[in-house]
Structure 1
Amino acid sequence: MSDAHWQDFLARVVTPRFPDGLTVSEGMGQWRDRVTSRITHEPSRLVWIVTPDRPGLRQDIDAIRAAYRSEFAQQSVGVLAGSGCAAF
């Protein structure tokens, strides 16, 4: 995936759902292919979103994950959700 493709995805799919802000960290991912069982490494991005709970939140996150899986040919896209105390 090119940086331009990622930036386009971020602008079209993620930012409209979370316009108040987010953080993107780059990393290196490792996963086991479900078909071949081979361990594969590839660049990855972690998107950190701090937001209050609201109606439709889960659906917005699921829509982003589905779009990413489809556009970038991924077998899975992880999500970690939790509650905490934050202030800005």
Structure 2
Amino acid sequence: MFEEAFLKVGERLGALQAKVVVALMGGALTLAVLVAAGVYVWLHPVMHCRQQSALLFFGTAVRKGEHVRHVDGNEWKGFVESAIVPRLPDGFTVLEGQGFYRSVVDGNAMQEGTYILMVAHRNDGDINARLASIVEDYKTRFNQESVLRLDQCGAYRF
């Protein structure tokens, strides 16, 4: 009788231990998912915005070997009309500026004229693909290594 009662208590403790282990594993898994989601949101906050603004900085120095020339106003206007207007029919703003940076070749401080494209847009893959194609078009057309893109969460209305 004592042995039978002891076995029943042992079975209950075994089942209880199994339930505790399963509950702890579930809690650890939930915590891991929440931490991963938090890290993702922390590292990619713009991905969770419904509305965004994008700034694209187009440098004008075109280097071919030792020779440097600059994208002039007519070339920029042609680029805007052929590459930007068709891709951003809802509108955008262009500003002119001066960009400053340190040369990766010789470490010298450099400056060049810059065109800045400002776009307020909804957050979706289509607009991001159109902006990326504008960047690639500019890099190809004017022999550029890069175009700086700055995305920010935004709220806009008309």
Determine if the TM-score, normalized by the shorter chain, exceeds 0.5: yes
Unaligned runs of 5+ in 1: none
- Give TM-score scaled by structure 2 length: 0.51
Give a deviation string over 1:40-77, Cα, whole Å, max 9, x none.
Answer: 21100110011222332221111111111122222210
Please say which structure displays the higher CA radius of gyration.
2
Aligned-pair Cα RMSD in Å: 1.4
Give the drift of 1:25: 0.7
- Give TM-score scaled by structure 1 length: 0.87
User: 1:53 is matched with which residue?
Assistant: 123
Give the drift of 1:37: 3.2
Which shifted more, 65-74 or 19-28?
Answer: 65-74
Which shifted more, 28-37 or 68-77?
Answer: 28-37
Task: After TM superposition, list the pairs within 5 Å mapping 1:1-88 onto structure 2.
Answer: 1-88=71-158
Separation in structure 2 between the aligned mates of residue 70 and residue 37 of structure 1, nearest angstrom: 25
Unaligned runs of 5+ in 2: 1-70
Aligned residues: 88
Q: Pick closer, same or farther for the CA change 1:40–1:31 going to 2, 3 Å.
A: same
Higher helix share: 2
Give the drift of 1:9: 0.3
| SS state at 2:136 partner | helix
